[in-house]
């Protein structure tokens, strides 16, 4: 039951094959069982059961609110949830309980969705491993599945691999079957990167399509809520529910032209698929390149016109992203001063000392580092040289995409990450900036240009870990993009983690025992 898609489980709920409370309990049990993944920061057991009961009443009366009524979902812990802690995995907000719901959260609740928990992330969503939060790293569920174990002989305690990030908890929640849907956020790839490494469908919608109200901001001009599901059709359905103008977010657009129906059987014949050559970057693994070729061939054999295209400024995109990200972070993080909400230091003889000590105690090295870099790039003497320069390069990157789409290309096909998931110990040994340079290489250009992109899992690597490819479309053509993604998904035959269930469960028991042992000590 837990490995079904939203569409399937929604049908099961309506036909009475399972009740919302039973389903909710199953998910809550699953969360407990998969506790060792550290995917959740807060599990909202009590409110989830209440919401499930209400859904049950509606379903029994035959008046469900929509296809999500009674369906359990999870939210990244940087979206505000009324009366439920929202921590951003930071000491700064460890005890922060917002009095309101983010618009996208409210929309899911209005549809009868059952919120089972808030998921783990890198502190303030700054990272690409989900290892930099105060609640500890998230483990990739595929680390405990049969293919990885058998192909690498890895040991469960020391050789686990990362989920990617920063929405690693959301990806792990969907991949480990404890939630049918999870929201992440995507500033430079934070939804697509863990989507690729955990083998789930991860959509970054067009900037302006979904409200950011209540998403604790990282980079205002690039942040978008991201959607993670087990199949493309589910992502399309959730997109329909979430999209639309929000009076509380002036950067959402009115009636975008994406209202077209999602094509379940998209015909790829005669569409033009662009292969941006710059996406064969130094460090791209042979296996990721092979998948890229394989899928390009799939399209070509189905009658699509596949062609190599050029996005000449791609190489500089990550640099541009880094400068703009630091600058906006420096500005956005200024709100955390200890006075109105969040952590407040005990040390405080003066306002400035209170600010400085609160921020010293509240932020980790990565966040502090970006704030300092941002302040440097924004210094009067550097403003033109770095900040405006980066904004100019941003335009060149956006124009690269526009040129290709104007020439008639319908979608771009690229890798999502350079490699499959790294082992935690290997990943940890590199510094954060180096990591971000590697991990966001193929994902952040889309954020700079505001375009929609979706990561579709395509195969397991020879280490038994997921590899995903990215499809990029023109702005506000999210539905058509998902149509192409759906076509691809049906042809690549990516395995479900539930096929490796036996192993997953047994590893889990080992994990449980180990934890109890630790606790006892």
Partner 1 sequence: MSALSRTASRTCCMSLKFIRPSSELRTNDGRSIRHVERFNGRSYSSTHVPQVPTWEPVPEDQLPPCTSIPPELVDKLERLALVDFRTKQGVACLEKAIQFADQLHVVDTCGTEPMDCVLEDRALYLRDDTVMDGNCAEQLLQLSQNTVEEYFVAPPGNIPLPKREERSAMLKHSEF
Q: Tell me which residues in 281-310 interact with partner 1 (CB under 8 A).
A: 281-284, 286-287, 289-294, 296-297, 300-301, 305-308
3-state class (DSSP) for residue 202: strand
Report the 10 Å Cβ neighbour count for 36.
20
Figure out which of the listed residues 160, 377, 424, 442 binds partner 1, where binding follows CB under 8 A. Answer: 377
Does 369 bind partner 1 (CB under 8 A)? Our answer is: yes
Nearest-angstrom CA–CA distance, 416 and 404? 19
Site string for partner 1, 441-480 (x = CB under 8 A): --------xx--------xxxx-x----------x-----
Q: List the interface residues with partner 1, window 165-194 (CB under 8 A).
A: none
Does 208 bind partner 1 (CB under 8 A)? Our answer is: yes
Q: Do 453 and 192 form a contact (C-beta atoms < 8 A)?
A: yes
Does 152 bind partner 1 (CB under 8 A)? Our answer is: no
Quick check: is 76 catalytic? yes
- Cis peptide leading into residue 33 (ω within 30°): no
Q: Do 447 and 204 form a contact (C-beta atoms < 8 A)?
A: yes
Does 368 bind partner 1 (CB under 8 A)? Our answer is: yes
Does 356 bind partner 1 (CB under 8 A)? Our answer is: yes
Calculate Rg over the CA atoms of the chain. Answer: 22
Task: Give whole-number Cα distances, 404 to 295, 297, 316, 479, 511, in Å.
Answer: 20, 20, 18, 19, 49
Nearer to partner 1, 2 or 396 (CB): 396
Binding window for partner 1 (CB under 8 A); candidates: 10-18, 21-29, 188-196, 362-370: 362-370
- Report in angstroms how near the CB of residue 283 gets to partner 1 at its nearest: 8
Nearer to partner 1, 2 or 284 (CB): 284
Nearest-angstrom CA–CA distance, 470 and 285? 15
From 401, 457, 452, select the one nearest 204 (Cα to Cα). Answer: 452
Does 108 bind partner 1 (CB under 8 A)? Our answer is: no
Q: Which entry of 190, 211, 233, 461 is annotated as an active-site residue?
A: 190
- Report in angstroms how near the CB of residue 98 gets to partner 1 at its nearest: 8
Nearest-angstrom CA–CA distance, 51 and 48? 5
Report the 10 Å Cβ neighbour count for 83.
11
Instruction: Give, for 149, the enclosing helix (H) or strand (E).
Output: helix 146-152
Quick check: is 428 catalytic? no
Nearer to partner 1, 30 or 394 (CB): 394
Q: Which entry of 33, 76, 107, 204 is annotated as an active-site residue?
A: 76
Figure out which of the listed residues 155, 158, 350, 518 binds partner 1, where binding follows CB under 8 A. Answer: 350
261-292 residues labelled b (16+ CB within 10 A) or e (exposed)? ebeeebebeebbbbbbebbeeeebeebbeebb
- Report in angstroms how near the CB of residue 467 gets to partner 1 at its nearest: 9
* Four-point Cα dihedral 47, 131, 195, 306, nearest 10: 160
Does 365 bind partner 1 (CB under 8 A)? Our answer is: yes
Figure out which of the listed residues 3, 50, 53, 91 binds partner 1, where binding follows CB under 8 A. Answer: 91
Nearer to partner 1, 52 or 275 (CB): 275
Query: Which residues are known catalytic residues?
Result: 76, 166, 190
């Amino acid at each position: 039951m837990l490995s079904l898609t939203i569409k399937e489980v929604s049908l099961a709920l309506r036909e009475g094959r399972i009740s919302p409370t039973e389903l909710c309990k199953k998910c809550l049990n699953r969360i407990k069982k998969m506790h060792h993944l550290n995917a959740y920061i807060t599990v909202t057991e009590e409110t989830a059961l209440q919401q499930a009961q209400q859904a049950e009443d509606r379903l029994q009366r035959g008046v469900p609110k929509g296809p999500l009524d009674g369906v359990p979902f999870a939210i990244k812990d940087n979206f505000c949830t009324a009366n439920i802690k929202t921590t951003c995995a930071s000491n700064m907000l460890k005890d922060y309980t917002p009095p309101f719901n983010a618009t996208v959260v409210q929309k899911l609740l209005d549809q009868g969705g059952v919120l089972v928990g808030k998921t783990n992330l890198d502190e303030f969503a700054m990272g690409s491993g989900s290892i930099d939060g105060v609640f500890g790293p998230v483990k990739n569920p595929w680390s405990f599945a049969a293919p990885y174990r058998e192909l690498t002989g890895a040991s469960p305690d020391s050789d686990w691999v990362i989920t990617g990030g920063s929405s690693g908890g959301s990806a792990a929640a969907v991949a480990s079957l404890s939630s049918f849907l999870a929201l992440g956020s995507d500033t430079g790839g934070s939804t697509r990167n863990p989507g690729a490494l955990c083998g789930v469908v991860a959509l970054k919608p067009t900037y302006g399509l979904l409200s950011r109200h209540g998403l604790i901001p990282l980079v205002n001009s690039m942040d978008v809520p991201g959607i993670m599901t087990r199949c493309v059709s589910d992502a399309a359905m959730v997109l329909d529910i979430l999209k639309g103008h929000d009076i509380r977010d002036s950067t959402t657009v009115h009636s975008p032209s994406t209202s077209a129906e999602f094509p379940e059987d998209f015909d790829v014949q005669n569409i033009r698929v662009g292969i941006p050559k710059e996406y064969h970057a130094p460090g791209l693994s042979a296996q990721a390149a092979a998948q890229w070729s394989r899928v390009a061939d799939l399209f070509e054999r189905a009658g699509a016109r596949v062609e190599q295209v050029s996005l000449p400024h791609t190489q500089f995109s990550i640099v541009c992203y880094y400068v703009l990200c630091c600058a906006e972070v420096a500005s956005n993080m200024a709100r955390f001063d200890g006075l109105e909400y969040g952590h407040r230091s005990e040390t405080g003889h003066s306002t400035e000392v209170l600010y400085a000590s609160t921020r010293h105690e509240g932020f980790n090295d990565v966040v502090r580092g970006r704030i300092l870099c941002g302040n440097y790039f924004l210094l009067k003497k550097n403003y033109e040289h770095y900040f405006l320069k980066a904004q100019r390069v941003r335009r060149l990157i956006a124009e690269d995409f526009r040129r290709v789409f104007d020439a008639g290309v319908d979608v771009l096909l690229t890798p999502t990450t350079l490699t499959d998931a790294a082992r935690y110990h290997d990943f940890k040994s590199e510094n954060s900036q180096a990591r971000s340079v590697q991990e966001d290489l193929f994902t952040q250009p889309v954020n700079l240009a505001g375009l929609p992109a979706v990561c579709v899992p395509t195969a397991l690597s020879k280490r038994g870990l997921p590899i995903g490819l990215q499809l990029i479309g023109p702005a506000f053509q999210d539905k058509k993009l998902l149509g192409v993604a759906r076509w691809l998904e049906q042809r690549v035959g990516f395995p479900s983690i539930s096929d490796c269930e036996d192993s997953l469960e047994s590893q889990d028991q080992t994990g449980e025992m180990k934890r109890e042992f630790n606790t006892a000590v």
